[in-house]
């Protein structure tokens, strides 16, 4: 079963193809996403890699957590499920 990994402390210049190439060294990568700032269009310095199976994901964590890429030590661990966000702002509340 596919396993999603969190990858933090990425260089702002890192590309999805660079991340895919790195993680492909340990197994099949099914998806790579670098999170971008909506306002600036720049990387937020983290992303997600989905590995094809649990064994490859565990190998990737062991191999790349602390791995130095572009002079930055990567943080790699299992991605937590996305938390529901509370409603943003006062949209529709306290209207007069």
Q: Model confidence over 6-59: pLDDT tens digits?
A: 999 999 999 999 999 999 999 999 999 999 999 999 999 999 999 999 999 999
Whole-number Å distance between alpha carbons of 95 and 40: 31
Given this model, what pLDDT does residue 93 score?
Answer: 55
List % helix, strand, coil for the chain (3-state, nearest 5).
20, 30, 50
Confidence band, pLDDT 50/70/90 cuts, at residue 3: very high
Could you tell me the pTM of the whole model?
0.84
Whole-number Å distance between alpha carbons of 15 and 43: 9
Whole-number Å distance between alpha carbons of 45 and 50: 17
3-78 falls under which CATH superfamily? RRM (RNA recognition motif) domain (3.30.70.330)
Given this model, what pLDDT does residue 55 score?
Answer: 97
């Amino acid at each position: 079963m596919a396993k999603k990994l969190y990858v933090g402390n990425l260089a702002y210049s890192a590309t999805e193809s660079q991340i895919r190439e790195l993680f492909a060294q340990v197994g099949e990568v099914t998806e790579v996403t670098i999170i971008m700032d909506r306002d600036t269009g720049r990387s937020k310095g983290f992303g997600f890699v989905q590995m094809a199976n649990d064994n490859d994901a565990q190998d990737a964590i062991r191999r790349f957590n602390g791995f130095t890429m572009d002079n930055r030590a990567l943080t790699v661990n299992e991605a937590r499920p996305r938390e529901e966000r509370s409603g943003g702002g006062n949209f529709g509340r306290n209207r007069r």
